Structure formats: structure tokens, C-alpha cells
Structure 1
């Protein structure tokens, strides 16, 4: 029996996001929802939850169906509440007092520290806000759990906890997860829906295998389209020949035959469809301005401390050479971001000697992007960001912004109106325009769709870029990193294979 059945659903905003979408969710399903930034994933989840409507089409829900939706961002009304009260708020008022005990039981299952439970939502990290939203969706004991980018802002340990939580759900509870985290999708789903403006594709396979099946289907459709178009050209050539013969001979039969051939060509051409071509959400391009120095950065047994001065770890003596892309791994709170910040402060402006334990080569030109993309906060609009950060002409600036997926009407609008994916692409565009030869990237794949992640990885590798990056995206780390550093036991150590570290962090 279907929990929810979607039939011929379409959604149009300024453009068609999807059309003729038909699928169903049954008990126990684990469906991954995949599409580029801005292609309707969040909208589809809201429609399934009954919080929004499609343009056309129908949705049929099982009688008494309970749906829990964990959106990407908390509603503003929750920001002043404590973690515990924000979760309790999801319970129906008539049972909230009597069922209050369920909140702490659930937070125990999600490994939420006691100290966090009384803190206001606005003071929590993006990762803990994600956990709160998941708890709100789960506390109502849903038959169908809808997750919108559930791993965004989560470190590897929290992703592991999330996966264990999902695995422990009642067998009948169905889950739909819209996500750009390829490893997460492979681990938790057994079915994948690729959302497209037309001809969305549903495969009973986890993401990686479904993607391969989709590519094979698209290749076959392209071949079929080419064959059909060859037939169309052949039919029209025949029709032209017969038409000339019919005119010269005055044969009515040949005129009729000509019309039949032309009609067959028209019908075949109308039915022929090439495979879908995904329109890019915006290009990502990087640069590597190069350096003749072998060792770009040397770290000489620096002590990395928390903001309150508490010692987190010591680095030992390490260096990063030209072409090294070092991935920094470790549990949440061990000091990954603090090391990035320490390096950024020491190397800013290429001035040597600011930090006695950290030295950069004379030719070093660092570029930094943090988790919150705070480098964008100084600019009111995307246009202002580009013009103040470069010497581009007006036409060049417009072209660069458009290439990064920011349309003309959005270029002079408040920067706050940009989607997460657009903000990420704008931040990377500013980074490229600064022409660095050393990258400091803290969670650079946050908000990027799978296409964007692959573009970023490809640019880093193809440009031979050097840098230090922190990422919870296991697929991205495996694709990009040439070296792996791990924070273990208050020390920074180098390892050959991240696999065991991923496994340890995922297992908690």
C-alpha cells in the first residue's frame, strides 16, 4: 500500500522545475532525491508534506498519514527557543505536557549533550540546528520522514550518528532525503529519484549505481534520437524525390505517396526526444597563480587552542609543498577550523614572520573561504562584491556573475536573496579573482550541489592547486586530497588512507 502517490505533478515558478512527475512511496522506502541547486527538491518535499501545492497534478495520501519534514533552516519563531523547547514545540499542544519525556529520550538517541539542550537555537552552530530540525520531524513518530539536505553543516561524526538513527527507525517508516552528499545517499538509500524539468528518472538503486543506470539510459536515448533523426532525413529525401517525379509525370498517386512520407517524417520528428541535458546552476572556476617555492607553508610545532585558551592539539613540524592538497580530518571540536583560522591570520597578505610557528614562502598568496562564507558579509549585493574585489569592467563583471549562476536581475539585488548554492558559487568566484596559489577551504562543499562539488574537485586537481581543506564530504576528500592529516590524541598526524578515519569518526 502506498503512503503517498504522486501523479502527473508539475511545478512552475519563473520556469518549469518539474513536470509529469509520477511516483509513489511505500512503507519502509529509502528514497534519495537528487537535482541541481534550485531545481525544486525543497519545493517537492514541501508539497509532499502538504505545506505547498504543485501547479498541476495530484497527490494522494494514505488515511491518517503522519509526515515529518526537516527543512534546511529553522523558522524564525524558533530561534529564541531552547533546543529542548524547539523540539517540544513540534508536539501537539494537547499532548506536549504529558509526552514531554519523549523529547529527552529522542535527544539521547541523537547524542545531544545536556549542555546544548538549554541553549537558544540562534546561538547554535548550523550543524546543531540541523539536528534540532531532524528531532522536530522525528518526535511526532512519522510514517514518512522528509529530510532536506540533512548532512549540510554536519561533521563526519554527526553524519554517522544520523545514519545510525535512520537505520534504527521503525521498519515501516519511509524516508525521503534530498541531498548532495553522495556517500550519505549510497549508505542510507536503496532508491534514487533524479528530479528533472521533464522526464524525471526513478531507479530502485542507491545513488552511485542509479547514476550509472541513468547515464546508460541517457546514452541509449541519444542513440535512439540520432537513429530517429536519420530516418526523418531519409523519409524527407524520399518525399522530395517522389514529389519531383510526380510533378513531372502528373501522377496523383505519387503526390499522395509524397504526402504520406512527409506526414510520417513529421510524426517521427515530433516524437523523437534527445536525452536530458542538465542546465548548469553556474560554473565554478579556480586559478593557481603558481609559485617557484617548494615548501609553500611550514608549521613548526604550533599549539592550537580554543577561543577560551584551552589547548586542543599540537601540530608537530609539518609543511605543505606545491601541489599538496591536504585534507584535515578529526572529530567535531578538535580544532580543525581553529588551525585554518590560525594559518589564515599568519599568512594574510603574504607577510612572513607574523606567527613564529607558521611561515609562508615569499611568493605565497593565500585564498580563504570559511564555513559561513563570511567573506560575503561585507558586500550588500553580488555586483558590489565583484566590483570591489576586482578590476573587471562592468560588462566583464556581469559576464562573470552570470557564468557563476547569478542572473542579471539578481546581480544588484540584496545578497541575502541568493540561495545557498549561489552564495557558495559567488564566494568561489571571489576566491578565483584574488588569484591565490594556496587555498584554505573550510567545508567548501556546503550548499554546493553534486555538479558544483565535482566542478570544484576537478578545478583543484586540474590546476594542481595547493592548500589545506576541511571537509565532511567523504567523496570530495577522496577525489581531491593528496595528503591526509588527522587530529588524534591532541596531536596532528599524517596517514596514508582516510578510510579507517572515516570509519572511526562515523562509528562515534
Structure 2
């Protein structure tokens, strides 16, 4: 049976990412790897794949173990290859001849449309690129499959397709998944590892049940710490009293006993380790407020593709203050084009036919790729120039959002996708809007950040129109649900109706 064992494994990068990690991954395991951005998930996956070495500890692989890692980014060398050739070249050179049937079988397994199979990877959507990388790893028939943020860029249809594929994969080889998608982790895993700098914690359950157990674990640890610190305080008081007795009476025995009790208190205090606390960068939203009841009204509006093709029609839509509208639809239906149309209407000097906007509307806009951020500027320059907070205050708000001084001075192009997302959301908050247009705002945001964003949207009583594939996020914030279907925008009772069509 193929397996992989970690013995006291740790990685230090300036500070510890994780340490003393002991874990066995074997047949049938579907392990969810959970941690904040930059906390070591990708590093651990590379160590498991043999592409990086841990700072200390040992990783023991069963003899001949074949591990395939699907990283987040498409290698440059693959972009000009067709979908078919990406899979074909993944096979060993001596196995490629006469193996087109294997390629076709895997393409069929991933339900790849015929017209996409001959296209180069760079011509495919981000979602199909992700599936191509997974299919490329799968065709090698690995003994263990490692997936790093596999749901990034996937629309709901492909997300359900990936979930179905993982759950129906006809083999027992283990899969390790690093993801921030809570529903995906629940659907596809049976174990969860919470990666932490001091003590990582694992449970034989999928994410949400494991999260409940983790909270109970942390509560018990907190109670034990408080009990230990109370005992430390009592011992130190006793030691001080004995020391005073020894000094006043000249008793050496009392002084010796005092020193012994103090050493015991010091040793006990060492066992009362500080508890781990998630420290996501602050994601906070503001609400400038308005007295207008309806902030935007649309009537007989047509949404078009960049090439002028008609995508769908909007007979009538009023957006009232406090409404949180989620727009659903299949990939390519025009959801992002709809938000871009609204963005142009709300920021242009002249109005657009069929779209009326309240004069008191103050817009905040988030593009799913954070293209509103200038790549060459630094995070500090963006905050300083756009919002005129002054140098010291600009650095302070960036620090609150999780940016160290070093990262504040890096060009935005060199920030990780998660850091770009946090900067985009920070800029959104600092603009103090009363109306939000958000296209995939949780892309690359970790679980604590997603939950914080949900809470801020609710607490700010934000008015917003949102496009998102994060089912937990949609459920948490949505008050109205619009579906783009058969060339029209219609209102539905909830997202479940749309999800059923994806599964059917």
C-alpha cells in the first residue's frame, strides 16, 4: 500500500511556517489542508512532492511512490501546447506512442468540449487551464495527487464537475487538497489538517466538523493555560513569602525552599505556551450612507459581449438601499460584463440609456483579477496617492490589512494573488462607498478573510451586486438572487435552483 509519513517535519522561513508535524497519508485519504495565506500550504505540498526539503524532520515515502503536484500557476512551457498535447506530453517518452486513446479517455472523463481539445492553453479560460493541469497530473496515474488551490478560476459548473470527479475517481490513492473553499473541502475531504506555526492539528473529519472540533480543542487548551498560569501565580507568591521569611529570620532553608518553588513555577510557565490566534489582515468595509431609497434603476437594458454580441436582456431591475443582490449564471452568460456595464454607467460623465443612478451613489468596485490596481506601483504608493492619508497613516492601515513594511514597498506585480486581493479590498473600504459592485471578491482570499468580509458586508448593511462562485459566501450575504438564463435576467428564490441545473 502506497503511503507517505512525516516525522517531526518543519519549515522555517524567517519565522516558522510549521514545525513538529507528524502525519501519515495513506490509501483512501482525502486530506484538506487549511491555513491562511502565506502560512505554508504550498510549501508543505512541495515538500510532499519532493520538490523542496523541510528545514528539519523526515518525509518517508513508500518505495516507488509516484506523487503528482498540481500547482496554482500554469507553467510557461505549457501555454502554447494544445489541451491534447499537454496531456500527451505528460506521459513518459517511451509510453507516448499509440497512447492517444489514453489522452482521449481522460479528456472525456473531464467532459472536455471537442472544440477546446486542439486549442493552446493560453487561449483557454482560467477554469479550463486549471482542469487541464489536473488532467495532466491524473493521466500519469499517480499514487498520490496533491492539489494546490484547485478551485481558483473555476466557475460553478466546473467546480461541481471537479467535485464529482474527485468523489467518483475509481481508485483509492490519497489526495491532498489545499483550498479556501469551505463547501469544496466539505464535499471532497475526509480528513483536515489545520497548519499552524507551533502545533498543527488534524482531525478525521471534513472541514466544518473539523472546525467545530478545533474550536473545542482550542477552548480546552485555553482553559488549561489559564489553570496553569493560576498555579504559577500561586507558586510565585509562596516563593516570595518564603524568601521574605528567610531574609527576616536568616533561615537558609527557607531561602533554598523559595528558590526551589520559583524554579518549579518557571518550569510550569514554560509549559503554558501561548495559544495560536488567526491574524488575518483586517478586511473592513465602510458605508458612506445615503437617504435615497433606490440607488439604481434599470429598464430595457441589453448586456453585450465586447464584440457586440447580445448576451441577455434586463426588462426591469430596481436596486434598493440595503439589498445584497447575487447574480448567478453559467460561465460566459455575461455576469462580469453586466458588472462592467454598471461600472461604466455609474462612473461615466454621461448616463447610459435605460440606467438611472441616484446622485448620492458613491461606488466601490472590485474586479475579479484586481485589474484596478496599477501593477508597477507599490501598495504604499496606491494608498498614499489615492486617499491622501499621509505617510504614517497609510503605513498603519496597510499594516492593519496584513502588509509588512517590506511588502508595502514591493511593486504590486510582485505581490501574491492573496495579497493583491487584500489590497483591492482595502482600497474599496478607503473609498467609503455606499454601493458595491464586486466580481468574485473572495478570489485568493483565505478562509478567515472570507468570513471577515462576510461579516463586514452584513455589519455595514452594504448595498451591493455580487458575482461569486463561493457558495458559503453567497449563502451568508445574499438577500436577492438573479439568474442569467436563456438570454434574460430573472429573479429566483435562492441559489439552490441554479445549483441543481449545474448538477443535472
TM-score range, shorter chain: over 0.9
Match of 1:172 in 2: 172
- 1:84 matched to 2:95? The reply is no
TM-score, with length taken from structure 2 = 0.96
What are the superposed Cα offsets for residues 166-210 of structure 1, whole Å, 9 maximum, x if unpaired? 012133121110000001001111110000001000001110111
Match of 1:483 in 2: 480
Match of 1:498 in 2: 495
In 1, the alpha carbon distance for the partners of 2:374 and 2:74 equals: 20
Match of 1:380 in 2: 377
Contact 1:487 1:493 in 2 (8 A): yes
In 2, the alpha carbon distance for the partners of 1:180 and 1:29 equals: 19
Match of 1:323 in 2: 322
In 1, the alpha carbon distance for the partners of 2:386 and 2:263 equals: 58
Match of 2:344 in 1: 345
Q: Secondary structure at the match of 1:315?
A: strand
Q: Secondary structure at the match of 1:224?
A: helix
Match of 2:407 in 1: 410
In 2, the alpha carbon distance for the partners of 1:390 and 1:117 equals: 47
Q: Which moved more, 1:466-475 or 1:479-488?
A: 479-488
Match of 2:65 in 1: 65
Gaps of 5+ in 1: none
Contact 1:219 1:275 in 2 (8 A): no
Match of 1:245 in 2: 245
TM-score, with length taken from structure 1 = 0.96
In 2, the alpha carbon distance for the partners of 1:348 and 1:415 equals: 24
Match of 2:109 in 1: 109
Q: Structure 1 residues 249, 383: closer, same or farther in 2, change over 3 A?
A: closer
Instruction: Tell me the CA shift for residue 255 of structure 1.
Output: 3.2
Contact 2:375 2:412 in 1 (8 A): no
In 1, the alpha carbon distance for the partners of 2:109 and 2:2 equals: 29
Match of 1:304 in 2: 303
- 1:6 matched to 2:6? The reply is yes
Q: Structure 1 residues 455, 111: closer, same or farther in 2, change over 3 A?
A: same
Match of 2:458 in 1: 461
What are the superposed Cα offsets for residues 353-389 of structure 1, whole Å, 9 maximum, x if unpaired? 6211221111112221111111114643223322332
The aligned runs of 1:128-167 (5 Å cut-off) are: 128-167=128-167
Instruction: Tell me the CA shift for residue 57 of structure 1.
Output: 0.8
In 1, the alpha carbon distance for the partners of 2:312 and 2:160 equals: 24
Instruction: Tell me the CA shift for residue 43 of structure 1.
Output: 0.7
In 1, the alpha carbon distance for the partners of 2:198 and 2:233 equals: 26
In 2, the alpha carbon distance for the partners of 1:406 and 1:124 equals: 33
Q: Secondary structure at the match of 2:80?
A: coil
